[in-house]
Structure 1
Amino acid sequence: MKIQKEIIDFEKGKSFKLFAPSLKNCFFWHYHPEIELVYVEALNGIRHVGKDISGFTDSDLLLIGSNVPHLNFDYKIQTECKQLVLQMRENFLQDIIIPVPEFDHIKTLLERSYLGLSFSGETKKRVVEKMHTMMNTGTFDSLMGLIEILQILANSNEVKELNSEDTRIKWFLNDKIRMGTIYDYIHENYDKKTNVNQIAEMVSLSTPAFCRYFKKQTNMTFTDFVNNYRINQAKIFLLKDSSITEVCFQVGFESLSYFNKLFKQHLGETPSEFRKRHLEKVEN
């Protein structure tokens, strides 16, 4: 479960590949020199791109630059999950985009993608529609569709940079800790009182060394990460039949007031406001 370099095979005569993978039960912490556009649709999930670890609700559209480590976005998702992944050949930027002056905005977009870019709103809607259309078109039309997608992304203001610094693989090469062990521990124990001493021992570090390592890797303390994971799991339960009090204890919090406070800090709304907004969206 150490970080892996993914070897991507392309069909002869094609500059990119578009497919729908499913790796739900596989921890695939990986990188590759190819730039990648990922659309994931799920009730709730966690994205890990570079040093950024954050949650998404309903869906996410991400542009991930060359050699940026990332985790498969369907990892441990317990609800229905759909993905579309578009990967461009390693030389796509240099050979196809850079030589064409009309593609200057796309060039800037792809060069900036090393930060990890998350797109929302109308941008996400338009791009996903085009990705689905590309699944059923010929080679030339698909390439034109990809150029259109990149132009839409390049001109969009509905974008969030996930990282504030360069997190390409050179930053992670000396990492010998199995992040999968940590993820699995949190997934299995988020609804209980987690023990940092226990997980430190599992990855053969002293507790202080583990805390330093984890903060360096994720920009979060272990406690903050666990709470973030709990809040993301809570979003799933809130859209089911459980009461807010039941959800609070289901995800491992011991205080309803603290759960409400932390939920609002993370999402800008209370659990009841979150539930009401999303259920109204479903009914409409």
Structure 2
Amino acid sequence: MRRFTRRDVAVLGVLLGIPVLIDIAIVWGPTVASIGLSFTSWDGIGDIKGVGGRNYEDLATGYPAFWPAVRHNLLWLAFLAFVATPFGLLLAVIIDRGVRFSRFYQSTLYMPVVLSLAIVGFIAQLVLSRDNGALNAVLANHDNPVDWLGDSDINLWMVLIFAGWRHVGYVMILYLAGLKSVDPTLKEAAAIDGANARQTFFRVVFPTLRPVNVIVGVITVIEALRAFDIVYVINKGRNGLELLSVLITDNIIGEASRIGFGSAIAVVLLTVSLGFIVTYLVQELRGEKGR
């Protein structure tokens, strides 16, 4: 067995140590700091004062925007998980079957993914603006135009359509890559056994996509809970578009800086994110072991 020389150890230390230190400094350091600050009252300038769990109590009982933001984040997650993701899978299956102009469809459907959500927000304004939007122009609502982005009863759903438009292309590419790696003999064996196309997909093909399902599930949760750019571009996350990420920004770097209170919201968002992701991964790993 080859023994590592001092030079090997030094190289490994540099190659592994630097990324770990950067990760600690950029990710875990601020995370731990936020958890600590969530139990304090601090405006970023004066002294830091410990307040125990008062910030969390104020969140639950004395901050009207908190629960609507939680509900909106959960609706965002549900829309991406049960509408956009299945639609992306459907498109991947259709393209994988070799339809004509499949390369064109792949490029067109993937194009929104290269855009940031902020750019998608600008596009949403061009389409959905009350006075100059393309949608009202197409519908010819000149006398009584619909305020797609100003009406708090519908603006979240309209924004979700645009967020889902971007998410669909991402999911489609991931599943398309997974479908290309499925062994064709599995499909042939299912056809010999008398399975139709639907049975072959759900009983043979889809179970082999478990690794892709894990990736898509985690990405969907992260995309839903970290959503910020698109609503902030449209109306700074107000009037029906409140999200936890917006509340964090408003409290930490807003006019009345409340870093401790904003950190408490960030910890709630972190806890919810980890809860979904860990639960999903545990279920997937258990299913993998049970196969």
TM range (shorter): under 0.3
- Structure with higher Rg: it is 2
Please state which structure has a larger fraction of its residues in strand. Answer: 1
